[in-house]
């Protein structure tokens, strides 16, 4: 690391310990099958942010996996499932304020999901598309 970068990094460190702000806690829930070994739902829900991937159901598993969802990343397969009638149960399971990030789906699949979420969730869940280069598009 060059000395300029070191100086820049050092300037970012607060001189007074009281100026240090604690970062929110977050928890990734990747596969609920690991959560089923112990009842961690309350502990999971106490985090500031809970990230879920694809299905990772919460309905009926609240004692084990919690019910809070801050961000749910959906691949193309799960975007298609959420778009179908059978996926509507998932739409209603996530907590208000959740956001969905759609990856690797066609534009039409993303737009359909965004329209369905707007209609079914009355604006309490947002849908984003992760485009090439990690740009997020919100409809």
Which domains, from first to last, does the chain contain?
28-138 (3.90.1480.20)
86 phi/psi in degrees, rounded to 5? -65, -20
pLDDT of residue 42: 92
Joined together, the tokens standing for residue 23 give 């970062």
pLDDT at residue 13 is higher than 50: no
The model scores a pTM over 0.95: no
What are the angstrom distances between the C-alpha of 26 and each of 77, 78, 108?
26, 23, 32
Is the pLDDT reported for residue 137 higher than 60? no
Locate the DSSP E strands across the chain.
26-29, 49-53, 71-74, 99-103, 126-130, 136-138
Burial of 80 (0-12, 13-18, 19+ CB in 10 A): middle
User: In this predicted model, what pLDDT tens digit does every residue of 27-78 receive, in sequence order?
Assistant: 655 455 666 778 889 988 998 888 888 888 888 889 988 899 999 999 999 9
Query: What secondary structure letter does DSSP report for 2?
Result: -
């Amino acid at each position: 690391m060059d000395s300029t970068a070191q100086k820049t990094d050092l300037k970012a460190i607060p001189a007074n310990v009281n100026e240090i702000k604690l970062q929110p806690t977050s928890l990734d829930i990747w596969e609920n099958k690991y959560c089923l070994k112990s009842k961690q739902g309350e502990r999971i829900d106490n985090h500031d942010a809970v990230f879920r991937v694809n299905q990772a159901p919460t309905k009926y598993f609240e004692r084990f996996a919690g019910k809070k969802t801050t961000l749910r990343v959906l691949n193309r397969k799960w975007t298609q499932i959420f778009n179908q009638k059978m996926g509507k149960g998932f739409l209603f399971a996530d907590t208000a304020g959740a956001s969905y990030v759609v990856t690797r789906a066609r534009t039409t699949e993303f737009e359909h999901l965004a329209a369905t979420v707007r209609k079914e969730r009355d604006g309490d869940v947002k849908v984003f598309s992760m485009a090439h280069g990690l740009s997020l598009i919100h409809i």
